[in-house]
Amino acid sequence: MSQEMWTYIFVAGTFAIYIGIAIWARAASTDDFYVAGHDVHPVVNGMATAADWMSAASFLSMAGLIAFMGYGGSVYLMGWTGGYVLLALLLAPFLREFGKFTVPDFVGDRYYSTTARMIAVVCALFVSFTYIAGQMKGVGVAFSGFLGVEFNTGIYVGMGIVFVYAVLGGMKGITYTQVAQYCVLIFAYTVPAIFISLIITGNPVPQLGFISDVKGEDVSMLAKLNQVVTDLGFKEYTSTDKSMFDMFAITGALMFGTAGLPHVIVRFFTVSSAGAARVSAGWALVFIALLYTTAPAVAGFARLNFIDTVNESTYVESLDNYDTEAAAIVAAGGKPIPKWFKDWEKTGLLAVEDKNGDGRVQYRAGADNEVTKLDRDIFVLANPSIANLPGWVIGLVVAGGLAAALSTAAGLLMVISSSISHDLCRRTLFKDMDDKTELRVARLAAAGAVVAAGFMGIYSAQLAFVAQVVAFAFGLAAASLFPVIFLGIFWKRMNREGAIASMLTGLVPTFMYIWHFKIGAGKAAGSADWFLGVSPEGIGFVFMFVSLAVGIAVSLATKAPPQDIQDLVEDIRVPGTRRSHGIADSGMAPVADHT
Amino acid sequence: MSKDAAEIDGKGYWRAVLRLTLLLLAIWFMVSFGAGILFRDVLDQVSIGGAPLGFWFAQNGSIYVFVALIFYYCVAMRRLERKFGVKG
């Protein structure tokens, strides 16, 4: 059976599973729709959180990114996992004890302010739309690259699938499809990684292969990689050209941004208690760590293998006659370019140009480099072929990439729809709306958001901010959402005025800085003009401290929050002691009502 | 045994929670920002298997410690809840 056939079978098969789950897990109430009825098992929620969290970028691009950046890529590894420690220790259990549906819901009630709620809605919507457009684009790329379907058609198919399970099942449908999606994506990621680790180091565990010697040689994999890349004029793999302060700032922005991302936080509203939220965060990180500790190994192996097999190999013109031509090259004592290279050349992710006319491919740093196109996604995608795995494994990897993109898109969709139906409509504009109407509005909002996200994916080439997801989403979440949530729990004196000032001082300058250096006038000047040498990816970390300081200063200069609110904050710190405090308690009835 | 909300020493419990949180965050900081970035060059003089230690912490080791930290936190919090009679 051809590889494309296998890909079709895997993609269609997994899509059928997702839809089947959606029909089985239909949402009947707003409780089901927003938070899956508050009774998801912590381990199940951990797995769903991991799928929610790991996007098309984590699955397809991260290993390639690390392969090119070497040590500099560590910011993603530490940043996107370390944030879960902050979530587990500082936010998730307390937010669960507070018992709301959405992040703006917490902000609005804790700071007794519609203005604060609306600013949080704006932050949540902007972050989520930026992020979701990237996922839809990923779906389009996967379809057009592997199934011979047009980019736009691919997005329509993706929209259709997400529409069915998100609109029908809400958070409940999404939770269980995400569990299935996690299984698909982790299997698709680790199987090729195990084989490539075996080939290069002889150790089947990629995490151990990463620190082992190269098979049959007396030199460690990393030492050999350093040697090989410096010989070709690249910088050492275990070094970086980023400054130490910039590394520090980017890691910080990604960690605090992770903790402040609404679509991650809401996952912890779906479990039954604060204790379950803590356990669930631990399991989420276990499931995430499986992929994140494999990725740097894949990165190193792939870079080494690429240089080994492609550099100085003799180019083979035709793919159809590859076997005979390659045999001729071997007979003449040469090294033919690997077959997988030819296979992937037609997708446009790889390209070579014989600049010196010697018929061989030279991979170098600088102007003599003959590998003119080397897409960072290629390393994960080509892994199965590099490891000589059968055609169906490639189909599995494509299905895994789609699972990663769709599961993240669905989680973001929930944030968008609940911000609109719950925070904007039910809690602000139409306060007397009943549960049934709200559910209908939530479904409508989810449907609208699917369509909007699809179009943002289709026009992603024209929307400059879509390519800057990392900077925008994490920077804004770190600088504007994390400080108000954190202070709202750990400092009961924090008041409405402080919260509004803090969110705005986080949001506005971070947005402007990223826009200026990534899209606007400062793009050309680049790193020379950076404030304190901090890149746009790391600036959220700097403004987070400004936002915290402004929030504290403004709170101290203005009236303390009402006694009710201060008592409420004390209550949520001690699970099970929460009493009624006169603010709307929808979503969770107070446990110990003494009034 | 869980007690009635009124009998719980909420303030004492919260102080203990904060102490635990600060301790764990100190470790969180040391293995990532510390070992992986600030003191990387010093740690790189030692190797774990075939990898320089600082580099390994930045790409693999810190993640293992993060997982351990969260599970330790769960256990320690349960112990605190029992000690103070908080329902949890």
Q: Which of chain A's residues have a Cβ under 8 Å away from the Cβ of B50?
A: 211-213, 219-223
Closest-CA residue to A329 (of A361, A303, A285): A361
Nearest CA in chain B to A298: B59
Q: Which of chain A's residues have a Cβ under 8 Å away from the Cβ of B58?
A: 71, 74, 77-78
Q: Which helix (H) or strand (E) holds B48?
A: strand B47-48
| Residue A207 distance to chain B (closest CA, Å) | 8
Mean pLDDT of A204-223: 90
| Residue B41 distance to chain A (closest CA, Å) | 10
| Contact at CB, A289 and B64, closer than 8 angstroms | yes
CA distance A398 to A396: 5
User: What is the predicted pLDDT for the residue at A384?
Assistant: 82
How many Å from the N-terminal Cα to the C-terminal Cα in chain A? 70
Query: Which two structure tokens, joined as six digits, stand for A315?
Result: 């180019």
Q: Which helix (H) or strand (E) holds A404?
A: helix A391-418
CA distance B88 to B70: 17
Q: Worst-scoring range by mean pLDDT, A186-200, A245-259, A284-298, A322-336? A: A322-336
**What is the ipTM, given to two decimal places?**
0.93
| Contact at CB, B50 and A221, closer than 8 angstroms | yes
| Structure confidence by residue, pLDDT tens digits, A326-356 | 888 888 888 888 888 887 787 777 888 888 8
Mean pLDDT of A118-143: 84
CA distance A383 to A400: 13
- Return mean pLDDT, chain A: 85
Length in residues, chain A: 595
Q: Which of chain B's residues have a Cβ under 8 Å away from the Cβ of A275?
A: 74, 77-78, 81, 88
Mean pLDDT of A492-511: 91
User: What is the predicted pLDDT for the residue at B3?
Assistant: 54
- For residue B86, pLDDT beyond 60: yes
Closest-CA residue to A40 (of A136, A214, A169): A169
Q: Which helix (H) or strand (E) holds A509?
A: helix A496-518
| Residue A265 distance to chain B (closest CA, Å) | 16
* Domain residue limits, chain B: 26-84
User: How many other β-carbons are positioned within 10 Å of the β-carbon of residue A52?
Assistant: 27
User: How many other β-carbons are positioned within 10 Å of the β-carbon of residue A392?
Assistant: 16
CA distance A57 to A401: 9
| Contact at CB, A574 and B86, closer than 8 angstroms | yes
pTM score, whole prediction:
0.90
Put simply, whether A252 touches B (Cβ < 8 Å) is yes
Q: Worst-scoring range by mean pLDDT, A98-107, A281-290, A302-311, A478-487? A: A98-107
Best residue in B57, B60, B69, B78 for a mutation probing chain A (most A CBs within 10 Å): B60
CA distance B35 to B25: 14
Query: Which two structure tokens, joined as six digits, stand for A504?
Result: 């705005």
Interface of B with A (CB under 8 A): 2, 4-6, 8, 10, 13-14, 17, 21, 24-25, 28, 32-33, 36-38, 44, 48-52, 55-56, 58-60, 62-64, 66-67, 69-71, 73-74, 77-78, 81, 86-88
Q: Which residues contact A334 (CB under 8 A, 6 or more apart)?
A: A313, A314, A360
A20-24, A27-31, A283-287, A444-448: which is most confident: A283-287
Complete DSSP assignment for A172-212? HHHHHHHHHHHHHHHHHHHHHHHHHHHHHHS-S-HHHHTTS
Contact A239, A225 (CB under 8 A): no
| Contact at CB, B81 and A591, closer than 8 angstroms | no
Closest-CA residue to A301 (of A363, A359, A389, A237): A237
- For residue B70, pLDDT beyond 60: yes
Give the residue ranges of DSSP H helices in B1-88.
Answer: 10-29, 40-43, 53-56, 62-84
| Residue B2 distance to chain A (closest CA, Å) | 10
CA distance B44 to B55: 7
Contact A34, A172 (CB under 8 A): no
With a CB-CB cutoff of 8 Å, which residues 84-113 of chain A face chain B?
A: 84-86, 88-90
| Residue B60 distance to chain A (closest CA, Å) | 5
| Structure confidence by residue, pLDDT tens digits, A380-391 | 888 888 777 887
| Contact at CB, B14 and A574, closer than 8 angstroms | yes
Q: Which of A81, A219, A592 sits opposite B5 (nearest CB)?
A: A592
* Domain residue limits, chain A: 3-303+392-468, 312-361
- For residue A304, pLDDT beyond 80: yes
Best residue in B42, B48, B59 for a mutation probing chain A (most A CBs within 10 Å): B59
User: How many other β-carbons are positioned within 10 Å of the β-carbon of residue A442?
Assistant: 26
Instruction: Domain A3-303+392-468: state its class.
Output: mainly alpha
Mean pLDDT of A150-175: 82
| Residue A591 distance to chain B (closest CA, Å) | 10
User: What is the predicted pLDDT for the residue at A465?
Assistant: 62
Mean pLDDT of A21-41: 78
With a CB-CB cutoff of 8 Å, which residues 210-239 of chain A face chain B?
A: 210-213, 219-223, 238
A vs B: CB pairs below 8 A: 144
User: What is the predicted pLDDT for the residue at A1?
Assistant: 65
User: What is the predicted pLDDT for the residue at A331?
Assistant: 86
Nearest CA in chain A to B44: A238
Q: Which helix (H) or strand (E) holds A351?
A: strand A350-352
